[in-house]
């Protein structure tokens, strides 16, 4: 019987050794899994911090872009003001808007009006005839009702009525006649 109990004790010991090895292995696997989870949390933290940095950089870039656009607007407005001033200088030398446009390579419509010229309204017949003749001779367009322009040719014997194409935003809108003696218009 002693032999049986020795064998049983030996078997128990071997089973314990195997169980201990299994437990040690499980403990090691658990430690590895814990370290893995720590690394995952660190990755998530790095990702979140990176996204926060990227968002801040984008915000700063958008602010700088807005500043650059605002400065560009100011610079363009100043350049436009200088260009208009130079066009007015040419006009004060006695040349008409059509010639200014030709010399500068821009359309007559784009040439600024001399300072102080307001829209003409209800001219006398004599003045209307003179203005109409000048408009036709210069080949300019006149503005009526905001952004509408007419390219004109004489439509009446006395020249106070002019006929031409009607344009809005650069697109042809049809034909029309305007009486310079009664319409409100400007060059």
Residue position matching structure tokens 């002019």: 162
Higher pLDDT, 8 or 181: 8
Per residue in 1-29, pLDDT (tens digit) is: 557 788 888 989 999 999 999 999 999 99
**Nearest to 119, CA basis, from 73, 70, 187, 61:** 187
Q: Which backbone phi and psi does 105 adopt, to 5 degrees? A: 75, 30
Structure confidence at residue 114 (pLDDT): 74
Contact of 162 with 180, CB cutoff 8 Å: yes
Task: Count CB atoms within 10 A of the CB of residue 185.
Answer: 22
pLDDT digits (tens, 9 = 90+) for 63-110: 999 999 999 999 999 999 999 999 998 888 888 888 999 999 999 888
184: enclosing H helix or E strand: strand 184-185
Does the pTM surpass 0.85? The reply is: no
Residue 156 burial class via C-beta count within 10 angstroms: exposed 0-12, middle 13-18, buried 19 and up: middle
Residue 17: its pLDDT value, please?
A: 92
- How far apart CA 155 and CA 150 sit, in angstroms, is 13
Does residue 134 surpass a pLDDT of 60? Answer: yes
Identify which has the larger pLDDT, 17 or 169: 17
More confident residue, 163 or 146: 163
Residues 112-141 as b or e (16 or more Cβ within 10 Å = b): bbeeeeeebeebeeeebbebbeebeeeebb
Other beta carbons within 10 angstroms of residue 87's beta carbon come to: 21
Specify the pLDDT at position 63: 95
Query: What is the predicted pLDDT for the residue at 97?
Result: 86
Percentage of residues in the chain with pLDDT exceeding 70?
61
3-state class (DSSP) for residue 6: helix
Q: Is 38's pLDDT higher than 70?
A: yes
The pLDDT value recorded for residue 123 is 54
Q: What is the mean pLDDT of residues 99-122?
A: 76
């Amino acid at each position: 019987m002693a032999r049986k109990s020795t064998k049983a004790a030996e078997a128990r010991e071997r089973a314990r050794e195997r169980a201990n090895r299994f437990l040690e292995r499980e403990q090691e696997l658990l430690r590895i899994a814990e370290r893995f989870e720590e690394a995952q949390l660190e990755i998530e933290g790095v990702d979140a911090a990176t996204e926060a940095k990227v968002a801040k950089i984008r915000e700063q870039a958008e602010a700088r872009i807005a500043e650059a656009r605002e400065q560009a607007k100011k610079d363009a407005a100043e350049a436009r003001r200088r260009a208009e001033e130079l066009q007015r200088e040419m006009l004060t030398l006695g040349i008409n808007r059509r010639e200014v446009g030709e010399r500068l390579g821009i359309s007559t419509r784009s040439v600024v009006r001399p300072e102080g010229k307001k829209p003409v309204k209800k001219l006398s017949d004599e003045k209307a005839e003179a203005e109409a003749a000048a408009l036709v001779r210069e080949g300019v367009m006149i503005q009526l009702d905001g952004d509408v322009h007419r390219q004109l040719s004489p439509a009446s014997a006395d020249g106070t009525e002019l006929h031409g194409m009607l344009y809005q935003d650069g697109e042809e809108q049809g034909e029309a006649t305007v009486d310079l003696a009664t319409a409100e218009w400007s060059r």
